[in-house]
Amino acid sequence: MGLQERLATIEQAFRRTFGDGQGLTIGRAPGRVNLIGEHTDYNDGFIFPMAIDFDIVMAARKRSDQMVKIHAVDLGRTVEFSLMTPLTPDAEEGWSNYPKGVLWAMQQEGARLPGLEMAFSGTIPLGSGLSSSAALEVATAIVVQKLTGFQSALPALARLCQRAENDFVGMRCGIMDQFISLMGERGHALFLDCRSLSYEQIPLQLGTYKILICQSGVKHSLVDSEYNSRREQCETGVRILAERYPAVRALRDVTVEMLNNCENRLSLVVYKRCLHVITENERVLKSIQALKAGDLVAFGELINQSHDSLRDFYEVSCEEVDLLVELAREVPGVLGARITGGGFGGCTVNLIRADAVRDFIGYVLSKYKEETGIEARVYLSTAAGGAELIQNGVNNN
């Protein structure tokens, strides 16, 4: 479905739910795939994601009272709450906590919000690890910002959305997903220093190669609790390393040599977690160099190493995803394959020669189905642009 059609569908749903579709402010925010730099963002490290061609479109307008009504078009659900009482998470309608959390975070920053009517719909496969939740937060943020005049510069708006997820939803995610959804640039992947938030848009010149996303169809439970426990293990590592090296504030400040000097003070688990983060930061830096030099083979090799480290040291992969990665690496023309995102299922990201995509689909998907009984899906995405306001299908920014 093209953008015009999607806008028409949302407008229609808006009319059905709220009586008419007049005076809408509309915005879209993309999902993302992280090319390399996994579980480094909350360690003050480096990441290299790109925005994808799948997004969430949000339409909204003000109300004259203090009620907020949010309609999830794809779920056919609506929630309502009043701004007169403090906002609290909704245990039943989990999806609503992302937009609600953004409103909450704006209030925390002193915004006096009006009542709102909102409806959204998306093309990002849900629960796939392609950041549909961050896209929903960011779409909410830019539309409500436009409607209410609440002002926040772009990096600060990413932080605000992250706070919504950390402190309202209760997932201690880093800055990656919100940042790339806001700041993505067409044709580029974003190299971000998560400590300073300084960034460089790197042209993704892949020649005859493509970025192929493969969805495992698996989402293991406990993702959030495992994620939060990885963060704690990193924090434990930092505490112990800082006893010997007082300048260490985050794993970003640690080298493999420093880590090895403290090995006997760290549990094996904490050692492995730290080793992943430290080497992953190095791999991001090397990837940027490789891309700038046009060396896709080296980039693919780093992608492979990233997966192996996430599997063996950070232990956030799972059997199904490991299988997808192994199968992918057997396909001639695949330069690199790895798990992407938080882990425990979700997607792999593959650097693949365009003319090998057909073989990938033929071989990997059928072998995977044979061994797991699950249908994996494949998406090809170019590097998309970041969040923007749209009116009648026209970019309004």
Pick the closer one to ligand GLA by CB: 296 or 310.
Answer: 310
> Residues 71-75: contacts with CB within 8 Å, 24+ apart?
71/13, 71/14, 71/17, 71/18, 71/117, 71/118, 71/119, 71/120, 72/96, 72/119, 72/120, 72/121, 73/9, 73/10, 73/13, 73/119, 73/120, 73/121, 74/121, 74/122
- Please name every residue paired with 190 in a beta bridge, in sequence order, or none if there are none: 201
Q: Does 346 bind ligand GLA (CB under 6 A)?
A: no
Report which secondary-structure segment, H or E, holds 50.
strand 46-62
Q: Which is nearer to ligand GLA, 34 or 350 (CB)?
A: 34
Site residues for ligand GLA, window 66-125 (CB under 6 A)? none
Q: Which residue from 31, 341, 385, 386 is in contact with ligand GLA, where contact means CB under 6 A? A: 341
User: CA-CA distance, 216 to 56, in Å (whole number)?
Assistant: 21
Q: Which two tokens stand for residue 185?
A: 């640039």
- Is residue 177 at the binding interface for ligand GLA, with CB under 6 A as the rule? yes
State yes or no: residue 44 binds ligand GLA (CB under 6 A): no
Q: CB 40 → ligand GLA: shortest distance, Å?
A: 7
Place of tokens 């229609």: 12
| Residues 50 and 33 sit within 8 Å (Cβ to Cβ) | yes
Tokens representing residue 374 in the block: 């699950």
State how far the Cα of 89 lies from the Cα of 96, in Å rounded to an integer: 8
CB of 173 or CB of 212, closer to ligand GLA: 173
In this structure, are residues 84 and 75 in contact, taking their beta carbons and an 8 Å threshold?
no
Task: Determine, following the binding rule CB under 6 A, whether residue 45 of this chain makes contact with ligand GLA.
Answer: no
Write the interaction track for ligand GLA spanning residues 287-326; mark x where CB under 6 A is met and - where it is not: ----------------------------------------
* Minimum distance of ligand GLA from residue 288's CB (angstroms): 17
Contact region with ligand GLA (CB under 6 A), list: 5-13, 111-119, 174-182, 210-218: 174-182
Our answer to whether residue 359 is catalytic in this structure is: no
Q: Does 137 interact with ligand GLA (rule: CB under 6 A)?
A: no
Q: Is 70 within 8 Å of 99 (Cβ atoms)?
A: yes
Is residue 42 near ligand GLA by the rule CB under 6 A?
yes
DSSP secondary structure string, 319-342? HHHHHHHHHHHTSTTEEEEEEESS
Instruction: Find the catalytic residue in 177, 295, 312, 322.
Output: 177
Q: How would you classify the pairing of strands 67-72 and 116-122?
A: parallel
Interface region with ligand GLA, contact rule CB under 6 A, candidates 38-46, 84-92, 211-219, 327-335: 38-46
Q: By C-beta, is 226 or 322 nearer to ligand GLA?
A: 226
Fill in the DSSP letter of residue 193: E
Pick one of 13, 30, 38, 276: the residue that binds ligand GLA (CB under 6 A).
38
Query: Does position 39 bind ligand GLA by CB under 6 A?
Result: yes
Active site members? 177
Q: Give residues in contact with ligand GLA (CB under 6 A).
A: 34, 38-39, 41-42, 173-174, 176-177, 341-342
